[in-house]
Amino acid sequence: MRFITLCVRTLAVSESNFISAAEHAGETFVLNLGPQHPATHGVLRVKLTMDGEYITRAEPVPGYIHRMHEKMGENRNYAQFLPNTSRIDYLSAMHYTHAFVGVVERAAKLEVPPRAEYIRVITSELNRISSHLVWFGAFLLDLGGFTPLLYAFDDREKILDLLEGITGSRLTYCYYRFGGVCNDIDDEFIRGTRAFLEEMRPRLKLYRELVTDNIILRKRLIDIGPISAELCRKYGATGPVIRGAGVPYDVRRSEPYSVYPELDFVVPTHAEGDCMARYLVRMEEMGQSLRIIEQALDRLPEGPVLGKAPKTVKLPPGDYCYAVEAARGRFMVRVISDGKEIPYRVKLRAPSFSNLSLFEEASQGMMLPDALAVMGSLDLVIPDIDR
Amino acid sequence: MKHSPRQIIDGFWSLLTGMRITLGQFFKPTVTVQYPHESLKMPTRFRGHIVFVRDPETGKSLCIACKACEKACPSDCIVVDGIKREGEKRKSVTDFKLDFTKCSLCGSCVEVCPTDALEFSRAYNLASVSKEQFHCIDLVKRLEQE
Ligand code: SF4
Ligand code: SF4
């Protein structure tokens, strides 16, 4: 099986050399993938130069939903920028807010009560599972399987209900505050989360049986779209993309933040680097997130959830960074302060942007349906790319 | 490409597993809520647009028109005005307009209010054909009408 695909790939590669000649001879055509395309999940446009079924060049054209988040950061105070962070990548709002409150807490040296840190970890990991579930459904939709989406959204709905109960919103949470979180979690949430943990484990098994072991999926993903660790380094790809290339890079471990060092979890990696590896990394991550939530619930200390924070936050002049592991990879906020109420500069390092950048090189000489599988396996969120 | 017998068996097995799981789900209870006919109750912390809290004693708003919410709002959705009536210690609100088209439901206004005069409503069936309906929600009038 592997041998056959290898042959096909060698063929494709040798053909890709030939293709440039075809391009030269004007025998190629341009195909617009997007800006409105079901497989780009938003408004991303990829300009594909095609030679028949094969891609000779893929040029991503981002920017269709650029909302100037970085610029908005420069004209409002720190607290006012907080709701923006959850709109950058709407699927992992908790992580993004975490990075922003993290950078302010680090710069202003604010204490965060331990209970708040645990609550942050619990909600962040719930958010990670819900984000991966959306990816799972949408990715399989790209590949032509409709049913898994309905299973995934059934589970995701439970997470959204839980988070809605404590934060008040279902997607763009604005729950973290400088120095803690805005509401304490109640018994209902804890009970609900424990019940969810119980329900989710058999569901992950169900996904494995129904989807992961399915021969159609395996044939669509195994040995398709190899992305090497070298390529990831070149473009700064992080998250499940680099872990799917065998590099155990996870911000929760390599630059520990919050209470992650106290928790026991493994960073799943797969060395193959193909679409299947990235798929498996995300599926295993959901299991690990369940483990993290369980431990955090067991250790949840009593106490306040919001530490002391000044009414108007002013950071001492300087340059501050804080990175978190969002669902799509490393998200970092860099704030440059000149001592005023309003930041001088807010730089957002979004994982999807780097993950998209490698698509051009990775999709060279690939068949179009395979390229869509690669794009799906990168788990792009377009507002995150454009910011 | 010729298929090996192994692949054919694998294919059949995948099919059977899929069928088994689908059939199992068939007998599980329905999770869908038939929305317009039945609707869910919103949790107590649900964030709808902001509304005034009624003072249980006077039946009026608790707002003292301090404009803290106006300043805190990241999107400039709030315009407050108030006057100081004679014989009263604090100012009272005469005008409170919310531009809900710009509101991000962040909750800054609710948190910053010194008298806890604001809360989130549980209204979520918010749809309209004209933007005027949300452009300028008059909270003072709303409280009077309730
Ligand atoms: S919820 Fe936020 S955006 Fe909406 S009015 Fe209040 S402060 Fe402004
Ligand atoms: S912060 Fe509260 S009291 Fe002050 S103007 Fe706003 S609603 Fe009124």
**Which ligand does the CA of B75 lie closest to?**
1
pLDDT tens-digit map of A39-56? 667 788 888 888 888 888
Q: What distance in angstroms lies between residue B111's CA and the mean position of ligand 1's atoms? A: 10
Spell out which residues of chain A touch residue B124, defining contact as CB-CB under 8 Å: none
CB contact under 8 A, A168 and B1: no
Average pLDDT estimate for A290-307 = 88
Centre of ligand 2 to C-alpha A174, Å, is: 21
B108 CB within 6 A, ligand 1: yes
- Enumerate residues 152 to 171 of chain A having a beta carbon within 8 A of any beta carbon in chain B: 154, 157, 164-169
**How many of the other CB atoms lie within 10 Å of CB of A195?**
12
Q: Is B18 in contact with A82 (Cβ distance < 8 A)?
A: no
Checking if the pLDDT of A3 tops 60, the result is no
Q: What's the pLDDT at A98?
A: 92
Residue A51 lies in a domain: no
**Residue of B12, B13, B21, B124 to mutate for A, most A C-beta atoms under 10 A:** B21
CATH 1.10.1370.30 fits B50-145, yes or no: no
For residue B72, the ligand 2 atom closest to its alpha carbon is 1
Residue nearest to atom 3 of ligand 1 (CA): B103
Average the pLDDT over each of A1-10, A48-57, A224-233, A271-280 and give the range with the smallest value: A1-10
The reply to whether A213 touches chain B by the CB within 8 Å rule is: yes
Residue of chain A with shortest Cα separation from B44: A165
Asked if residue A15 is part of any domain, the answer here is no
Contact A82 B106 (CB under 8 A): yes
Query: What would the DSSP string read from start to end of A80-118?
Result: HHHHHHTTTSGGGHHHHHHHHHHHHHHHHT----HHHHH
Beta strands in chain B (DSSP E): 50-52, 78-83, 92-98, 118-120, 137-138
The region of weakest confidence among A78-82, A245-249, A308-312 is A308-312
- Residue in the block written with tokens 């906020």: A333
A102-105 long-range contacts (CB < 8 A, ≥24 apart) are: A102/A257, A102/A258, A102/A322, A102/A324, A102/A333, A103/A320, A103/A321, A103/A322, A103/A333, A103/A334, A103/A335, A104/A78, A104/A178, A104/A313, A104/A315, A104/A335, A105/A178, A105/A179
Least confident interval from A3-7, A259-263, A373-377: A3-7
Q: Identify all chain B residues contacting A206, using CB atoms and an 8 Å cutoff.
A: 21
In whole angstroms, give the CA distance from residue A185 to residue A295: 16
Can you give the pLDDT at residue A4?
A: 47
B40 CA distance to ligand 1 centroid (A)? Answer: 24
Q: Which residues of chain B have pLDDT under 70?
A: 1-2
Closest-CA residue of chain A to B10: A215
Tell me which chain A residues have a C-beta less than 8 angstroms from the C-beta of B10: 215
Q: Residue B9 has what pLDDT? A: 86
CB A95, CB A326: distance < 8 Å? yes
Nearest to residue A245, comparing CAs of A221, A270, A276? A270
Contacts of B17 in chain A (CB under 8 A): 209-210, 213-214
pLDDT tens for residues A331-365?
999 999 888 888 998 999 889 888 888 888 888 88
- Interval A315-325 mean pLDDT: 89
What pLDDT is attached to residue A20? 58
Q: Which residue of B15, B17, B50 to mutate against A (max A Cβ within 10 Å)?
A: B17
Q: Do B45 and A168 touch (CB under 8 A)?
A: yes
Nearest to A83 among B10, B43, B74 (CB): B74
What pLDDT digit, counting tens, does each position of A123-159 carry?
A: 999 999 999 999 999 888 888 888 888 889 989 999 9
The pocket around ligand 2, CB under 6 angstroms, is made up of B 63-69, 80, 93, 112-115, 117-118
* Domain-embedded: residue A230: yes
> Taking CB atoms and an 8 Å cutoff, what residues of chain B touch A208?
none
Of the listed ranges A198-202, A355-359, A367-371, B133-137, the least confidently predicted one is B133-137
Partner B contacted by A87 (CB < 8 A):
yes
Which domain does A184 fall in, by range?
A: 69-385
Smallest CA-to-CA distance from A290 within A94, A132, A112 is with: A132
Instruction: State which ligand 1 atom lies nearest to the alpha carbon of B98.
Output: 5
pTM of the model: 0.85
Least confident of A3-17, A82-96, A335-349: A3-17
Q: Provide the mean pLDDT of chain A.
A: 85
Count of domains observed in chain A: 1
Tell me: pLDDT of A16 over 50: no
User: How far is Cα A258 from Cα A248, in angstroms, rounded to an integer?
Assistant: 19
Whether A16 is in a domain gets the answer no
Answer whether A11 touches B (CB < 8 Å).
Answer: no
Query: Which residues of chain A have a CB within 8 Å of the CB of B120?
Result: 168
- Average pLDDT rounded to a whole number, residues A223-228: 86
**Side-chain-facing half-sphere of A363: CA atoms under 13 Å:** 31
| Alpha-carbon torsion angle A176, A178, A182, A185, nearest 10 | 60
CATH number assigned to the domain comprising residue A305? 1.10.645.10
List CB contacts of A292: < 8 A, sequence separation 6 or more.
Answer: A121, A125, A260, A263, A265
**pLDDT value of position A122:** 92
Q: What is the model's pLDDT at position A195?
A: 92
Average pLDDT over residues A261-265: 88
> Has residue A175 got a pLDDT over 70?
yes
Judge contact between A225 and A374, C-beta under 8 A: yes
